[in-house]
């Protein structure tokens, strides 16, 4: 991928689309945390879309000095979408099952992570790293991608279980909020691991940086 191209016009539209999808996926989490206003929930996708589009503009400005931001900004945008999917499914399944702590939460955490990973693969390959060549299978890099992400899954679930099971919620913090705080910490660790793994292991051979 030639990052010297900078942020293209189409990237702003794609960034907005990614934000809109992320906003939709945030709705279950917002609802589980007490936001029950239909107007606010329906506004979320549009608000997040605007924020993402603005973020791409900021990345375009920063990329004039450091081309690294071209790729990283896209990765962060996709990362937020994956996080929204992950959080959304976790909160939805937690609310349906009534499970918000314990080892069984590790199983509740897995479906959302798997869906987020599948989504992540296509966005990273086709938009972030743009690593598809003619005649190449779309799934050629998936085994390496899956291996890196599987480690991330173990890290993610271990942190969520540890925080919700062995660390009592701070005074005044609900179980639902504590669950999401634990998930947030796990997501930050996983985000760093995944970017390093995807960039230097999964797509390394084709990088032109």
Task: Name the residue ranges covered by the structural domains of the chain.
Answer: 3-206
Contact between 46 and 23 under an 8 Å Cβ cutoff? The reply is yes
From the centroid of its chain, how far is CA 94?
19
Question: How many whole angstroms separate alpha carbon 106 and alpha carbon 153?
Answer: 10
How many CB atoms neighbour CB 67 within 10 A?
16
Contact between 49 and 20 under an 8 Å Cβ cutoff? The reply is yes
pLDDT of residue 208: 44
Residues 147-187: pLDDT tens digits? 998 898 889 889 988 988 888 888 778 888 888 898 889 98
Q: Which two tokens stand for residue 41?
A: 């929930």
The predicted model gives 45-64 an average pLDDT of 89
Residues 1-43: pLDDT tens digits? 444 457 788 888 999 999 999 999 999 999 988 899 999 999 9
Q: What angle do CA 156, 145, 155 make, to 5 degrees?
A: 15
Local structure of residue 126 (DSSP, 8 states): I
> Over the range 84-108, which residues count as b (16 or more CB within 10 Å of their CB) and which as e?
bbbbbbbbbbbeeeebbbeeebbeb
pTM of the predicted model, to two decimals?
0.74
Q: Which two tokens stand for residue 91?
A: 């909160």
Residue 191: closest CA among 141, 128, 101, 104: 128
pLDDT of residue 41: 93
Question: How many whole angstroms separate alpha carbon 80 and alpha carbon 101?
Answer: 24
């Amino acid at each position: 991928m030639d990052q010297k191209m900078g942020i293209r016009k189409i990237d702003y539209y794609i960034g907005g689309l990614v934000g809109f999808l992320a906003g939709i996926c945030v709705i279950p989490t917002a609802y589980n945390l007490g936001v029950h206003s239909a107007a606010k929930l329906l506004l979320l996708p549009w608000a997040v879309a605007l924020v993402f589009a603005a973020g791409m503009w900021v990345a375009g400005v920063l990329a004039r000095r450091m081309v690294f931001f071209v790729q990283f900004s896209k990765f962060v945008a996709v990362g937020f979408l994956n996080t929204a999917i992950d959080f959304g499914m976790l909160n939805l399944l937690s609310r349906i099952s009534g499970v918000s702590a314990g080892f069984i939460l590790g199983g509740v955490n897995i479906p959302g992570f798997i869906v987020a990973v599948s989504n992540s693969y296509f966005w990273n390959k086709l938009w972030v790293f743009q690593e598809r060549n003619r005649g190449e299978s779309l799934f050629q890099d998936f085994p390496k991608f899956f291996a890196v992400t599987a480690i991330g899954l173990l890290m993610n679930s271990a942190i969520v279980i540890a925080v919700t099971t062995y660390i009592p919620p701070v005074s005044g913090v609900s179980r639902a909020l504590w669950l999401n705080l634990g998930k947030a910490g796990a997501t930050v660790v996983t985000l760093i691991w995944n970017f390093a793994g995807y960039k230097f292991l999964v797509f390394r051979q084709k990088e032109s940086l």
